[in-house]
Chains A and B, each alone.
Chain A
Amino acid sequence: MSGRPWIVEELNRGNYGVMRSSRYGEPRGFLCCEWWCEGYWASSGYYDLCNEKPTIPGRPNSVPSILKGLASPSSFPRNRLLISLWPLIRNTVRNSLNRSSINELPSIPEKASRINVNADVLIVGGGPAGLSVAKELNKLGLKVVLIEGEHYLGGHLIVDDAEVKDLGRGSDFIGKLSKEVSDSVTVLTDTVFDGFLEDAVIGHSRDFSKLYVFNYRYLVLAQGFREVPLVFPGNGTPRMMTGLTILKLIKWWGFKPRRVLVWGSDDWGVRVAMNLAQLGIETYLGDNSVIVRSDLYRSKVESLGIKTFIGMNIVDAKDSGDGLRLILKNVRGRKAKVRRREEIAVDVLVSAVRVPVIDLPAQLGAPIVYAPEIGGLVPRRGFTGDLGLGNVYVVGDAGGLLPESLIIKQARITALSIGSREGLVPSDVLDKELAEFKRDLVTTNSSYYNVILRFEQGLQGAGYYAEPNVAHAPMWAAAGSVEDVENALKSANRQYLCFCEDVTLDDVLKAVRVLMHGREIKVRVLHGEEEEYKSLRLPSMERIKRVVGLGTGPCQGKFCLVSTNLILSFIYQKKPNEIGLPRIRFPEAPIPMATLAGGE
């Protein structure tokens, strides 16, 4: 990424609707500039969206609102009128989808080469966790290769100029660590780890000139978290972006928003807000939690004059042209006597709601379990990060959200564990440090400790119901009471879950209804019905996917699968593991034919 991205000009001119959606052709609300967002852009024909010269499909179509009901993912396959007209309309339908034509696709280098990469340990992800593991392993004398999807190292800390607990200024800390690692370890930036085939583990460079074949003895997955789109009525309207994206847009490229609402008040959410406030931007912080979630940074919110909307939900949103008008209401519950309603207008709504990146462990078949205390759905693993697959570890937020200072300690444990298996670290050293790490966890993050202890004891968390006020679930799943859920369901057709295929919550609920064959599943379960309700088996996400196409777009469900699972579990009071996730398939990010063909 060399020059100033095209979108910054557009945003500064007040044009936030830089993308059209694939099916309806509406201006699409969510914007993110991370490497893993490429699939989402491509769903409606955009490429290199955050570069100087993005590919933008010519003349987008849009479905007139009168036909939107017919075109929706849930009614399209079953509508009798559409079925009878199908031979007449299929070409219109096909041509109305917003895609790039094949000639518009960005060019691919003439030659692609296949490169074998050999390492003792391959680390996927160059954020604080991956870098720390790399540093520790390098000290042990192991041959380490680290790959990172972005063109820079450091992950989210690179744009974080706030004080990070125990580490100093985030950007300073990570800058030093990045330099130290890249001076001593083989680092491949702008490189995507695609995943696991039977005869090879491969990746590709983001300029598509290289196809990597990785050979390693240990694999460390350190992909961190993703900030996912918020789910609320009207979330299709423009002006939503991730915390990482807004900080990059402002600090690197001169985007100038005036008023911003940051949603999500855990450590990262608060630090995003702190960064924005320090830049002189009028900053609000919202969350549906009872208090600001972050213990570490709670006090900073007030001292920086950040106005808070805590204990509230976004119940409506409308882009008024000069800003996004949001209506917020407090989460009622049964006991809330005071009803609070706020209306605010902001330039940008920031999603700082984090979801651990579970794609690669899931691709490998590691059990993904529900652990609300550490971020929702996470791969099951032990204190060392061992996934129990032989030679694969997960470290950092990808294995459950944890403050950075502890992630760095955890990374050291992972490195020592590998070192000990290699005979480079005496086992008593590992044991001693592991005990210290556990002590640290018990005294600072006891719930995290308990979760991992449960995992190690084989109690996977599968028995847990989705909780109404979990630390890091998408906002929807924290709606509060049955009443809140029922209210939220009324506007289900304005709450988008899957941004690639324009799937709303309403579409998903309809799919559930079809799959249940009309058997009603109620939000409000009366006394005496509990037993029957508990034995009711909900359709799996895999089957829901096959009815409404949720997660079948080119982003492969990176935006929607975890959120949808947690939302459905919460609505229907089912265990997240019961609903499950669809199979996560290879590759992690789409690979051009030419790169594969050339890389032989």
Chain B
Amino acid sequence: MMSEGRGLISLTADAVVVGAGIVGLAVAYYLARRGFSVVVLEKNYVGSGSSTRNAGRYRVHFGNRENTEFAIRAIRKLESLSGELGWNGIFERQGYLWLVRRKEVLENYEKLNEQLWKPMGVPVQILTVEELRDRFPYINTQGIVGAVYGPQDGAFHHDYLVMGYYERALDLGVRVYEYSEVKGVGVEDGKVANVSSSNVFVKTKNVVFAAGAWTSEVMKNTLNIDIPIKPVRREIGITEPVKPIINTYIIDTETNLYLGQTMRGEILGSIELEGEEGFLPYGNTLTWLTAWAREAVKLVPSLRKIRIMRIWSGYYEMTPDHSHVMGRLSTWPEGVYVLSGFSGHGFMFGPYAAELLANYMANGVIDPIMKPFLPDRFITGNLIKELLVI
């Protein structure tokens, strides 16, 4: 099955985590806090995947109960990380502002607010065009019928939180190997026995797949397990820094444009065009770049003079119901776990989900909050239903 001992470095650990992004590092850290000895194997460098390519925004408002409930707790966790990790997450609740261009969409948001968000204690504000103009005077309201403002939502700085988990995990004795691509998982008697990478061999009983967009690929290659996580490339860009102007996170629900401003003053944003599935190269397109610039200038006319300084791309890790998958299936070899498929919410959900999974691995108890996100839903077909895609 497994070419044992092929690695140069031979180790023993209670658990191996595949992937050193925010999710993998957090799992490693919380496992180590529960007394596990942990090895993390990363095929590139720490944070090289989606963890440091995202927009750095978080929200509690989702289109269904399961995700909103999860998000409320996850955001509480996320916002407490600066203190826990000793790295400044640069948190700020700048809010999310969804701009709506059709009446029926606005009505949907109102319904969601009444039925879901209000009862759960995270009401949004439905703004009229006049209120919008008043509070966000830099927005061109032409064609807009109203807006939805979520004051509980906010921004963070991804690099520092990745570093925080990395440093604290190392403090607890977690061993992180960069440029170490997982090649095989050895199974004996239906149980995980070892994990081997291009340069490391680890004797272990547990393996957690937290490889983001690459999770499906690596689980298929090592264990022939199918997990429906598909990479979708998204492009994103950032401008030169200017004095504060955009004080929230703007999302145009019709054009799929989004814009925000970082603490340093750069305008960050993108427009979501139809993404193609698969591992496209980390490139960018003029089609996207001009579409982003065109819509950005239309929506916030004062941006026309600002200069785009840097663009890049990254992968969303999409599942069929746009919700993450955590835990394990009874048909998998004992000791195999997954924590992935966050579908664009990995950074905001990752830390909390990692702690839940670490608890589960340590004491075997499935927290009710993670039940809807177990992998069996892809077999039973009991997927999480979106009331509204936002």
| Residues of A participating in the B interface, judged by any CB pair closer than 8 Å | 22, 39, 42-43, 45, 76-80, 82-84, 86, 90, 93-95, 97, 99-103, 105-108, 197-200, 202, 213, 514, 517, 540, 542-543, 546-547, 554, 556, 583, 585-587, 590-594, 596-597, 599-600
Q: Which residue of B lies closest to A86 (CB)?
A: B88
Interface contacts beyond A94-B265, A97-B241, A102-B305: sample of 19 additional A-B pairs, CB < 8 Å, sorted by A: A22-B241, A39-B309, A79-B88, A83-B88, A90-B90, A94-B244, A97-B264, A97-B265, A197-B286, A198-B285, A199-B286, A547-B159, A585-B311, A587-B309, A590-B308, A592-B306, A594-B297, A597-B297, A597-B298
Out of A83, A97, A587, A592, name the residue touching B82 (CB < 8 Å): A83
A213–B286 contact, CB under 8 A?
yes
- Interchain CA distance A418-B162 in the complex, whole Å: 47
Q: How distant is the Cα of A78 from the Cα of B87 in the complex, in angstroms?
A: 5
Q: Say how far A599's CB is from chain B's closest CB, in angstroms.
A: 7
Q: Show 19 residue pairs from A and B whose CB-CB distance is below 8 angstroms, ordered by the A residue.
A: A77-B88, A77-B163, A83-B88, A93-B263, A94-B265, A99-B243, A102-B303, A102-B305, A199-B287, A517-B171, A543-B47, A547-B159, A547-B163, A554-B240, A590-B240, A590-B307, A593-B296, A597-B294, A600-B294
Docked-complex contact A102 and B302, CB < 8 angstroms = yes
Do the beta carbons of A517 and B170 come within 8 Å of each other? yes
Alpha-carbon distance between A517 and B175 when the two chains are bound, in angstroms: 11
B334 CB within 8 Å of chain A: no
Give complex CA distance A533, B48 in Å: 26
Q: In this complex, what residue of A is CB-closest to B263?
A: A94
Q: Shortest CB–CB separation between residue B94 and chain A, in angstroms?
A: 11
Q: How large is the interface on B (under 10, 10 to 19, 20 to 34, 35 or more residues)?
A: 35 or more
Cα-based distance from A597 to B242 in the complex (angstroms)? 20
B323 at interface by CB-CB < 8 Å: no
Q: How far is the CA of A108 from the CA of B244 in the complex (A)?
A: 21
Complex Cα distance, B283 from A585, in Å, reads 9
Please determine whether A546 and B52 come into contact, CB atoms closer than 8 angstroms.
Answer: yes
Does B245 interact with chain A (Cβ within 8 Å)? yes
Enumerate chain A residues within 8 angstroms of B52, measured Cβ to Cβ.
546
Interface string of B152-171 (1 = CB under 8 A from A): 00000101101100010011
Chain B 281-300 interface mask (CB, 8 Å, partner A; 1/0):
10111110110111011100
The answer to whether B86 touches A594, judged by C-beta atoms less than 8 angstroms apart, is no
Instruction: Indicate if the CB atoms of B244 and A597 lie closer than 8 Å.
Output: no
Residues of B within 8 A of A (CB): 45-48, 52, 82-83, 86-88, 90-92, 157, 159-160, 162-163, 167, 170-171, 239-245, 263-265, 281, 283-287, 289-290, 292-294, 296-298, 302-312
B45 near A107 with CB under 8 A, answer no
Q: B88 and A586: CB pair below 8 A? A: no
* A593 touching B303 in the complex, CB below 8 Å, given contacts A90-B92, A197-B283, A585-B311: yes
The answer to whether A593 and B304 have CB atoms under 8 Å apart is yes
A198-B284, A554-B241, A554-B309 given; A542·B45 CB < 8 A:
yes
The answer to whether B296 touches A102 (Cβ under 8 A) is no
Whether the Cβ atoms of B312 and A585 lie closer than 8 Å is: yes
Top 5 A-B residue pairs of the complex, sorted by shortest distance between their CB atoms: A590-B307, A596-B293, A594-B304, A200-B286, A105-B305
A585, B314: Cα distance in complex, Å: 13
Give the Cβ gap from B326 to chain A, nearest Cβ, in Å.
27
Once the chains are docked, how many angstroms separate the CA of A93 from the CA of B217?
Answer: 43
A583 to B281, CA, bound (A): 14
Report the Cα distance A577→B92, complex, angstroms. 38
Identify the closest chain B residue to A545 (Cβ): B159
Q: Which of B160, B171, B240, B303 has the most CB of A within 10 A?
A: B240
Q: Which of B167, B290, B307 contacts A592 (CB 8 A)?
A: B307
The answer on a CB contact under 8 Å between A202 and B243 is no
Asked if B283 and A597 sit within 8 Å, CB to CB, the answer is no
Cβ-defined contact, B308 with A546, below 8 A? no
A79 partner residues in chain B, CB cutoff 8 A: 88
User: Which residues of chain B are within 8 angstroms of A200 by Cβ–Cβ distance?
Assistant: 285-286
> Chain B contacts of A585 at CB under 8 A?
310-312
Once the chains bind, are A597 and B304 in contact (CB under 8 Å)? yes
- Nearest chain B CB to A24's CB is how many angstroms away? 14
A101 touching B307, Cβ below 8 Å: no
Say yes or no: A76 contacts B88, CB within 8 Å: yes
> Is the CB–CB distance between B244 and A593 below 8 Å?
no
Indicate if the CB atoms of A540 and B284 lie closer than 8 Å.
no
The answer for the CA separation of A297 and B170 in the assembled complex, in Å, is: 55
Q: Which chain A positions have C-beta within 8 A of B263?
A: 90, 93-94
Residue of B nearest to A79 (CB): B88
- Known interface pairs A39-B309, A76-B88; A86-B82 also in contact (CB < 8 Å): yes
- Given A77-B160, A546-B163, A594-B305: A202 and B286 interface contact (C-beta under 8 Å): yes
* Cβ-defined contact, B87 with A556, below 8 A: no
Shortest distance in angstroms between B159's beta carbon and chain A's nearest beta carbon? Answer: 4
Q: Which of A77, A202, A587, A593 contacts B297 (CB 8 A)?
A: A593
Contacts of B47 in A (CB 8 A): 543, 546
Q: Which chain A positions have C-beta within 8 A of B241?
A: 22, 43, 97, 99, 554
Chain A residues near B311 (CB-CB < 8 A): 585-587
Complex-state Cα separation, A594 to B52, whole angstroms: 28
The reply to whether A590 and B86 form a contact with Cβ atoms under 8 Å apart is no
Bound-state CA distance A315–B243 (Å) is 37
Give Cα A94 to B242, complex, Å.
Answer: 10
- Look across to chain A and name the residue whose beta carbon is closest to the beta carbon of B241: A99
Complex contact B285–A99 (CB within 8 A): no
